[in-house]
Structures are given as structure tokens and as C-alpha cells.
Amino acid sequence: MGRRVWLAFIAVFIILIVGVVGLILTEHLSLSRAIYLTVQTVTTVGYGDIEPQTEAGHVFLIFLMLSGVSVMLYFAGLLMAFLVEGQLAGVYWRRKMNKKIEQLQDHIIVCGAGRVGRQVVYRLRKEGAQCVVIEQREDLARQLIEEGFLVINSDATHDETLIKASINTAKGLISALPEDSLNVFVTLTAKGLNPNIHVVARMDQPESEKKLLRAGADKVISPATLGGWRMAMSILKPISVEYLETVIHDHNIEMEMVELKIDQGSCLVGETLLTSGIKQQTGAMVLAILRDNQVISNPGASEEILPGDLLIVLGLRDQLHRLEKLAANLIACKS
């Protein structure tokens, strides 16, 4: 459709050029008079006080009127169809996308699709997580829509935008906007709409960390700090860093690291790591335990498992699958 509109533009331009040149040759008009009369003819508004004075001029203007009106009508029809079809298609896709967003449960909202935010949504997609992207820049929003993401082209600091992103049913929000003040505002707004939502906020300036935490952010991350640490460790301990990156990021290998929440009714509650049978029955390795916002690294065999503990576990996929069954009482706990 776009190519046809451009061809119609070219056709109109050619008609105007032919009209001007023809009137100059047949009626011996000045350039301005010829342009004026050509436009009057093509647009069918009438001649007023200017009329052709020669037989050749009459014949030429008859041809110009017929061809000019035809081309103009064709161009107008194409342009109208292009605009209407584009608007209707846009309305249809927006409604379809909004309907999908309204039906989401336990999804993640990503605010900002710049350099950092774009990498966030790519990783979430790779991990199979559902997400909604809020991006104010129309060009960035359009790119992500073309890539198949659910996108809201609006300001993430507005309440209605977060409501449209189904924040009430979301499990997490990542504020990756380029300015710390905006991330503080988004965090405050998000926590006000859904106090239970888990918020991860981007930080550029170190002094912004306390403000973001006071605003309600559960985790504050500095891309610059993480990038610097990773580069330094890649020089100092390249093999270890490469191994960890492979375990965490490479989906082609069987080894994975997961988080396992221990519920009150799990048969693992009250057992130690030794008596729980985790190692014996699954082969998975408990690297750490998160308890009351404290991390117990490399826990010993006598460490007791309590309800609410979050186990950080490393193992093969089938080992982790067996451990999930064990924690859900689908496999009997035994020493």
C-alpha cells in the first residue's frame, strides 16, 4: 500500500509538470500563471477570470482536466485507504494486546526499554517469563511490538499506565528507566498500587540507593557496578566466571541453579540437610539458604530446614525436578 501511495504522488507531480509546460507552450502564459491555471484545472475549482485563448489550449485543458481529475481521485482514494487501514489495524492490534495484558497473572512489568531495559526483556523471554513492557518512546515501543512483546506506549510514572499493565496481578516490576528520580517515582507508584509486588530498581548514582529503598524497592541494582565487577573478575578469575556464566545463562547444558521455597507443609521442614535426603535422593547440592533476609552460605549438614526458607540449589535438570517433588511431598523424605 505504501508503494502505491508513492506512485500516486509521482503521478500527480507528473500531471502538474505536464500541465504547466503545456500551458506555457499553448497559451504562452508566464510560469506563475501556468502553475495557477494547472492547479485550478486539476483541483476542479474553476478558472475565474482566466480562460484559454487558443484552440490548442482548449484541447489541452480538456485532456488535462480528464487526466488530472482521474489521477487526483485515484490518489485521494489510495491515501484515504492507507490512512483508514492503518488506523483500523492499529486500533485492532492495540485492543488485542490490551486484552492479553488484562488476562495476565504473575507476570513481570518492565518500565523502560532502553539499553538496560531491552536486555532485561530479552532475558525474561529467554527464561520463559511473561512480561509487559512500558516504554514512552514510540520508536522503541514499535520495535518491541514488532518483535512480539506486549508493550504499552506510555509514561510508567502514571498510575493509569501501571493499572493498564495489570499491576494488581503482577508478581514483579523492574524499573529500568535512565534517570534515578524516575525510578524512585515508579517504585513509589507501584508500591502504592500493589504493596506486595516485588520491585527491582535500576540505580546510576550511588546516593540514589537509599532513596530507592525508602521508596519501597526490594532490590536496587547498578548496571555500572555489576559490569565493572564482571570485567574485573573476568581478568582475575576467568575460568570461575566463565563457569558461573555457563551455569546461569547457557540453556544448552543440563546444569542449572534454581531457588526452591520451602512451605510449611513440606516434609523437609524440621529436617537437617543430612537427614532430609536431598543429596541422597536427588543428587542436587544446596549452595545457600536465604532466611529472614540473611544468606547462609555453604550450609553444613546439620543445618535445619525451616518453613519459609529459600534454598539456592545447583544440579542437573532431572535432579532439580526430583527435588521439587521431594519438597512438595510427592516423594517421601528419608535419610
At residue 207, the pLDDT reads 93
Q: Do 76 and 140 reside in the same domain of the chain?
A: no
Query: pLDDT band for position 26 (50/70/90)?
Result: confident
At residue 333, the pLDDT reads 65
The answer on pLDDT for 118 being more than 80 is: yes
Q: Which pLDDT tens digit goes with each residue over 83-99?
A: 665 555 555 677 788 88
At residue 311, the pLDDT reads 94
The single-letter code of the amino acid at 231 is: M
Conformation bin of residue 313: beta by default, left when phi > 0, alpha when psi is -120 to 50: beta
Gyration radius of the chain over CA positions:
33
As a whole number, mean pLDDT of residues 39-62 equals 63
Look up the domain containing 109 and give its range.
Answer: 104-221
At residue 96, the pLDDT reads 81
* 76-82: Cβ within 8 A, 24+ apart: 78/1, 78/4, 78/5, 78/8, 79/5, 79/8, 81/1, 82/1, 82/2, 82/5
Say what the pTM is: 0.64
CA 165 to chain centre: 12
In a domain, 137, yes or no: yes
The answer on pLDDT for 65 being more than 70 is: no
Could you count the other beta carbons within 10 Å of the beta carbon of residue 303? 17
Could you count the other beta carbons within 10 Å of the beta carbon of residue 221? 16
The domain tally of the chain equals 3
Q: Do 216 and 108 reside in the same domain of the chain?
A: yes
At residue 293, the pLDDT reads 84
Query: pLDDT band for position 236 (50/70/90)?
Result: very high
Q: Do 278 and 179 reside in the same domain of the chain?
A: no
At residue 325, the pLDDT reads 86
Of 99, 116, 137, at which residue does a domain stop? 99
Provide the percentage of residues in the chain whose pLDDT is more than 90: 48
Q: Do 189 and 132 reside in the same domain of the chain?
A: yes
Do 101 and 163 form a contact (C-beta atoms < 8 A)?
Answer: no
Q: Do 48 and 8 reside in the same domain of the chain?
A: yes
The answer on pLDDT for 276 being more than 60 is: yes
In a domain, 242, yes or no: no
Distance CA 132, CA 77 (A): 38
Q: Do 124 and 186 reside in the same domain of the chain?
A: yes
The residue with greater pLDDT, 232 or 247, is 232
Q: Do 92 and 108 reside in the same domain of the chain?
A: no
Write the DSSP assignment of 93-141 as a string of letters. Answer: HHHHHHHHHHT--S-EEEE--SHHHHHHHHHHHHTT--EEEE-S-HHHH
Could you tell me the CATH number of the domain that includes residue 57?
1.10.287.70
Distance CA 174, CA 169 (A): 15
Query: pLDDT band for position 6 (50/70/90)?
Result: confident
Could you tell me the CATH number of the domain that includes residue 157?
3.40.50.720
Query: pLDDT band for position 157 (50/70/90)?
Result: very high
Q: Which pLDDT tens digit goes with each residue over 161-205?
A: 999 999 999 999 999 999 999 999 999 999 999 999 999 999 999
At residue 63, the pLDDT reads 67
- Pick the range with the lowest mean pLDDT from 30-39, 55-64, 198-207: 55-64
The residue with greater pLDDT, 243 or 49, is 243
At residue 205, the pLDDT reads 94
Of 46, 64, 99, at which residue does a domain stop? 99
